Copies of this chain bind each other. A is one copy, B any other.
């Protein structure tokens, strides 16, 4: 069996996972960035600014992103009690149902992908990937669990 280079293999894996995510998101008429927005909101109630930091977007980009999600009834804006300039963005019930469904499907896809491997290699992969991310996070000084 041919073995890909480390770089090629990881790059292809990355694109494969992105395609899986994009396909599942698309089934709910979500883009990747909309899916990430809803995912971030599952356990947070951030301001527009904080969302920009979590998603790596300019605040003006987030403003439009939230506007389109709000128009679909997936998120809601509420004024911040702490700061009159700020807005808190939250998931609606509809948005939460959508992201939970998409996330479950995506998890099923990845689980199915991993079932191609024998259990020992599956566990090895999980362990090595964890170490890689932890080491990278430590090196970058980045929080390990940013938004999904």
Interface residues of A (CB under 8 A from B): 1-14, 16-19, 21, 56, 106-107, 110-111, 113-114, 116-117, 121-122, 124-136, 139, 144, 148
Contact = CB atoms under 8 A, between A and B. Distances in A.
A131 B139 CA distance: 29
A3 B56 contact: no
A121 to B, nearest CB: 5
A12 B7 CA distance: 16
14 contacts: A1-B134, A3-B126, A6-B111, A7-B111, A9-B130, A9-B133, A11-B110, A13-B14, A13-B129, A14-B17, A18-B18, A116-B135, A124-B128, A125-B128
Contact of A110 (B3, B10, B107, B124): B10
Pick the 7 closest A-B CB pairs, nearest first. Answer: A116-B135, A14-B17, A9-B129, A6-B126, A14-B14, A7-B110, A3-B130
